[in-house]
Structure formats: structure tokens, C-alpha cells
Amino acid sequence: MRLIVTGGGTGGHTYPALTAVRTLRARLAEAGRGLDVLWVGAADSLEERVAAGEGIAFTAVAVGKIRRSKNPIKLASPANMADMTRVPLGVLQARKAINAFRPDVVLATGGYVAVPVGVATTRLCHRPLVVHEQTVRLGLANRTLAGAATSVAVSSESTVPLLPEAVRSRTVVTGNPVRPEILTGQPDKVIATLGLSGFDRRLPTIYVTGGAQGSKQINDLVAALRPWLLGHANLIHQCGPDHVAGLRRDSAGLPPELAGRHHLTDYVGAELPDVLALADVVISRSGAGTIAELTALGKAAVLVPLATSAGNEQVHNAQHLEQAGAASALVGEVTPQRLKDAVAPLLADPQQRIEMAARAKALGRPDAADQLVDLLLSVVDG
């Protein structure tokens, strides 16, 4: 089987594609079949680095980033005009790559690079295109491609009514693929791995994360509440490499009994599944990948959406979970008091945590990668 993957720019677009490729390769291997993959993306990008690390062939195409604005004058900015001229070049480069590789199907997971590849796939090369959307509302790239796609895979049932009528009949709810290892965490293992001997296992554990680079907003909110939080819980705080030194200085004066329940780190890597398994409450952003992991695992969460996310997607994601009783969403101006008011009931009442976690798990799709692979195979095999 021959597959072209396109999508990237952020981990939210890149890692679901990678998980789908790994799952498809394993599925085909079980059936005695092979898989040839070509990743088409932007040069010097996250997706190029990920493809290289996975041993996947990579081809770069020109990408035009359209900067959104309600003001038509700003929309017609020199930067937008310059980037728009790159899109036709990207389409021609993508056509060349597609015709040379001759894929059975193309999988597009969003991001600006998906547009020229998707357009070339459907309009010029007439190959099957499967579009996968990670968020509740279709991103700009996937909205552009959905009308001509063979199939559209979405992560939530609530997305379907938001689609044009003509697209709904070609839409399948697969969920958003999460790495299999996320589902296999061991809480006791991380106690030893991170040296959390001062943690009081009779108390709930909070995991705070702002993503790989950390979030100054979340870091500041948690720092303001740190003594109170540690009076009621153990705390694992992943703050990002640019913030760890300052936060470490600020926490140096904690009393020993509180300091023992406080683990500050710049980055959580291979131990993330175990950290999530230990966590009773998660405080985080509400990107698509985070939402997929929290719901697949069933975790009570307080979400602080990134206000500047493309298309306001993090706010939509957080509010979608809050409406289902699966999380608390702190939208707009977030103060330490608002965060305290959201976290306090979850720390005080184990039953409330359990019920929120159960509602989150009801929204989760831990088999999303398999569902997306099923869709790809159905498109190829008819």
C-alpha cells in the first residue's frame, strides 16, 4: 500500500498523523502486506523532523500562511499577499510529488501545508483524499479541503452538525489518535522514576502542564496558589525550559512538608503516561491532542484555553468538555481566585473527581487510530 501523509506546523496536526502511520503499518504487517509512506510538508518544519526520526521519506512544498482578520484591509496585508502567491507553487510541487509516488490514498491532518497537497490530490491528480480534523470545529485548511475529500474523519460527534450538508454523508467519527503508550501508564512507576518520595498518596495529585514550552499564564496562576495547592494535594508542575529557573527560586522558601509534595520540571518526556496515570486532576491548555489524551484516559481537568489559538479552537474544545460536565473551562480573564474556585471542589470531593473523570472517559476514543486506519483501508480497498 502507498500512502502520502500531509499536515503539520504543530504537534496537534503532526502526531495524530504519525500515530495513524504506525497503526496502519502494524495492521498491514499482520496481514503480510507492506506500506510505503511519503510525508509532504513544509521545509525545516516539525513534520520534517518527525518524518526523519521515523524513517519516513519526506518532500517539501511551498506553503502560504493566511493570517486571519475580520478587517479586509488587514486580510489584504503585504504578508498575506506574498504568502498567497506561494500556494499555487505549492500545488504544482505537490502535483509533481503525487504523480511520482502514485499513492493509493492521501491523508491530510490540517495545517497550512495540507492545502496545496489536498488541492493537488483532488483537482489535479484525482487521487482519494481523507481529511482528518482533530478539533471540535474544522480548521481553515480542512474546511478548504472537506468539500472535495473522499472522506472526512472527525474527532467528535458534535462536529458533524457543523459541517455542510453535502459533506456529512462522507463524514466518519473516528476520534483523534493518541499514542498507545499514553494508555499504559503506571502510577507507582513514576513515584520511583521522578523520586517523588515526599508525595502523600492519601492526597490527590495535580498535574500542571502548558505544553512542551510551558505557559507563562498557567505558571503564574499556579505559582500564586502554590502554598494553598500543596496544602491539599501533591503537585507535578511541568513549566517549560524558559520558566523553570524563576519558578524554582520562587518555591525555595516552601516549608519542608509542602516542598516534599512539589515536583517542578521543565519537561515531561517518556514518563508522561505514568504522570497522567498518577494524576487525579489536570490543569492544562485545551489543544486537540491534550483533549484526546484526557478523554481517552478519563481525567478530571481544569482547562485554561490559549486565547490566541487558530480559529479560537482551544476555547471551543474546552467549552465542549465543560458542557458535557467533563471538565471546567476558564475562558476570558483568568485570575488565581477563578482557578482556585474551579480546583477546590475537585480536591475536596473525591466523588466529584470520579464523576467528572467518568464523563470525560465517555467522550474518549482510545481506539481512534484503529478507526482512522479502518477508514483509510476502506477507501483504498473499496
Report the candidate in 140, 72, 153, 71 with the shortest Cα–Cα distance to residue 106. Answer: 153
Q: For residues 121 and 114, give the distance between their C-alpha atoms in angstroms, rounded to a whole number.
A: 10
Whether residue 128 sits in one domain with residue 81: yes
Whether residue 326 sits in one domain with residue 197: yes
Whether residue 185 sits in one domain with residue 91: no
pLDDT value of residue 78: 65
Q: Name, in order, each residue with C-beta under 8 angstroms of 323's C-beta and a sequence gap of 6 or more.
A: none
Identify the segments of the chain with pLDDT beneath 70: 65-84
For residue range 279-320, what is the model confidence (pLDDT) as tens digits? 999 999 999 999 999 999 999 999 999 988 877 899 999 999
pTM to 2 decimal places: 0.90
Q: For residues 284 and 342, give the distance between their C-alpha atoms in angstroms, rounded to a whole number.
A: 13
pLDDT value of residue 310: 74
* Overall number of domains in the chain: 2
**Structural domain boundaries enclosing 95:** 2-177+366-381
Whether residue 173 sits in one domain with residue 117: yes
With contact defined as beta carbons under 8 Å apart, do 292 and 155 qualify? yes
Whether residue 86 sits in one domain with residue 137: yes
pLDDT value of residue 81: 58
Q: For residues 147 and 166, give the distance between their C-alpha atoms in angstroms, rounded to a whole number.
A: 8
Whether residue 122 sits in one domain with residue 92: yes
Whether residue 248 sits in one domain with residue 106: no
